[in-house]
Structure 1
């Protein structure tokens, strides 16, 4: 994206800080919406009369739409102008947020979440690009620090805000609260950012590549979300979706590798460092996000936690990450980033093993401690991975590499959400069958009968206990699998060569 070297002089210093805060706030809102619905899924499912597993479409729909739109950001900015794209995205995000809150059915809610993701996708990279344009070189480090803080705070505050609103108001308000923020950012951008608008250029767009991208990702995600409800490949519809996703994916790769102006530059994968880095990033983020999805639902459906308390438990990871982010940033360039990434991912794997020892009698602090300790390692995983991936490509490929990296990270979140919930549900069924096969309820029945309970009540108590323990065992098994995925990701990073120093990471995110 072309930048004027002195574009920051076009905004008065007195207005520059205000513009920076507006851009940081817009980024915070978009990142917040990635996790704000996680703890609200049981509320949404209950209100709309659907299963909690269907409610996860609210999470995956947003993530998938955002993933599809991220690769388009560069083209949109060059074609229409950076500020125009930013403003249009903010308006669209606010509109679809209101429509999400007004949705009376799951279908409309998911459709509006798709709209949110499409509009929200360009806001993250656009907000960072505009920050670099309005601040002089000596102040860009602090500006990027402010931007990074909002990126870390968003996932931390999402579960807490979403939980509090769902418990005390209504789940609809987790979407309505975006409207005033979007309105403020839109009017502020119109007033403050017009002087740094970029020139517009007529550029070709890879329409066939875009259609193929939407097609195979859509088929894959629908297959993953519906598969657990339709006995997977025993259902002809799921099998058909899987075949279509595979054909679309192969066609997409062939087309993008032969297209002169591809919408996704797959040729970047020829760089071993980039390939190893994004593979480790996708695996690690997917395994990490599994806990963000499973823990709130388990705590609310089985452990009796409110959405607010479930959000607080989940959020401790991101809160702890804020304390070590500056240390990780200073260590990059002094320590081999591969060592930092490997150590951090191994740390995440150890935390998954720790969580796999949870029991149904675990108290609040037993649940919080692995979340808190895990958070200290997060910056040592995210920050150096950017250096590893972007140092492996040519300078002219940096923007494309950053977009592809964000695309894969977002897709990993969407796919992991579907896969982990499928595994969790299957593990519950297996665990329940194993518990029932070894259950000897005679003594329990006798004891409860002596306490005055009727036979129907006794059966219900035993059934509830079995369900709770089966769910708990399924959670433990899920975290064990996550640990194995993280161990593999920690080894994958060593396929990357040692990165070059002095890498420009401004195109990241």
Structure 2
């Protein structure tokens, strides 16, 4: 009886080999579709909100200096939490880590959509960015797990195409949603895709490899990086309005310098 596992399975973990046997050669494309749906949801959110700025600023009565945190906070949190990816994968496994990240992203999207003030909205965006920072690396890690070395270039091509295409579509999709509903719809639209990706991930993504070596995470370094990003971005975004030589701005510059040196 012919085997459904790939011809070269030496690179595969036992759990992945078992899933190939269960689903056949199409399994790698089932996984690719699963993780790409989740990734596209997070990437869309980066640019989709840009067209909602005028409506958000008008509703909450804030200026551009506050509104820019909706993007800056997202990107800063995403940058920081990318460092958590390896630890999450080793601790929870790809399946649980991916589902956890998407649940956090979906929850943050609900918080953002229901936000009664700009502070809650910014918090929701920061949580969205924190989740997106682990979803995208986990997607690449998962594809490396299931594709043999000679097919990884093609797999990364699919990944790159989605990551490039989604931000380009974001403003268009966001504009249509705002015209049809309101700015809050740009946060709700990702929920069906997150739900679908979570459901598929619970079926197709490989479970945790019990034999994998657990890794320790440098929480001190991670905290220093978060402090650096928060302080330097606060100083740069408020320097013009509060004065570059004001005590408040100088304090944030000094703290960012100290934390960056300590991190290195």
If the length of structure 1 is used for normalisation, what is the TM-score? 0.47
Partner deviation per Cα, 1:320-344 (whole Å, 9 max, x = no partner): xxxxxxxxxxxxxxxxxxxxxxxxx
What secondary structure sits across from 2:216 in the alignment?
A: coil
Q: Residue 69 of structure 1 contacts residue 121 of structure 1 at CA under 8 Å; is this kept in 2?
A: yes
Task: Name the counterpart of 1:394.
Answer: none
What secondary structure sits across from 1:104 in the alignment?
A: coil
Alignment of 1:192-341 (within 5 A): 192-195=204-207, 197-199=208-210, 200-233=212-245, 235-253=246-264
Alignment of 1:126-141 (within 5 A): 126-141=138-153
- 1: CA distance between counterparts of 2:152 and 2:218? 33
1:80–1:201: structure 2 CA closer, same or farther, 3 Å change rule?
farther
Cα shift at 1:25 = 1.6
Q: Residue 65 of structure 2 contacts residue 238 of structure 2 at CA under 8 Å; is this kept in 1?
A: no
- Find out whether 1:68 has 2:74 as its counterpart: no
Cα shift at 1:138 = 4.8
**2:11 aligns with one of 2, 5, 14:** 5
Cα shift at 1:135 = 3.2
What secondary structure sits across from 1:229 in the alignment?
A: helix
Highest CA radius of gyration, 1 or 2? Answer: 1
Cα shift at 1:55 = 0.7
Partner deviation per Cα, 1:264-298 (whole Å, 9 max, x = no partner): xxxxxxxxxxxxxxxxxxxxxxxxxxxxxxxxxxx
Alignment of 1:371-382 (within 5 A): none
What secondary structure sits across from 2:241 in the alignment?
A: coil
1:156–1:43: structure 2 CA closer, same or farther, 3 Å change rule?
same
Cα shift at 1:4 = 6.7
- Find out whether 1:92 has 2:104 as its counterpart: yes
- Find out whether 1:46 has 2:58 as its counterpart: yes
Cα shift at 1:62 = 0.3
If the length of structure 2 is used for normalisation, what is the TM-score? 0.87
Cα shift at 1:108 = 0.6
Cα shift at 1:44 = 1.1
1:4–1:203: structure 2 CA closer, same or farther, 3 Å change rule?
farther
Q: Residue 25 of structure 1 contacts residue 150 of structure 1 at CA under 8 Å; is this kept in 2?
A: no
Partner deviation per Cα, 1:411-441 (whole Å, 9 max, x = no partner): xxxxxxxxxxxxxxxxxxxxxxxxxxxxxxx
**1:171 aligns with one of 183, 202, 217:** 183
What secondary structure sits across from 1:232 in the alignment?
A: coil
- Find out whether 1:101 has 2:107 as its counterpart: no
Cα shift at 1:81 = 1.5
Alignment of 1:392-403 (within 5 A): none
- 1: CA distance between counterparts of 2:46 and 2:10? 33
- 1: CA distance between counterparts of 2:164 and 2:215? 34
1:194–1:45: structure 2 CA closer, same or farther, 3 Å change rule?
same
Cα shift at 1:229 = 2.1
- 2: CA distance between counterparts of 1:4 and 1:124? 26
Task: Name the counterpart of 1:492.
Answer: none
Q: Residue 83 of structure 1 contacts residue 198 of structure 1 at CA under 8 Å; is this kept in 2?
A: no
Cα shift at 1:205 = 2.0
Cα shift at 1:52 = 2.7
- Find out whether 1:153 has 2:165 as its counterpart: yes
What secondary structure sits across from 2:217 in the alignment?
A: coil
Which structure ranks higher in relative contact order (CA pairs < 8 Å, sequence separation ≥ 6)?
2
- 1: CA distance between counterparts of 2:10 and 2:119? 44
What secondary structure sits across from 1:6 in the alignment?
A: coil
Cα shift at 1:133 = 2.0
RMSD: 1.9
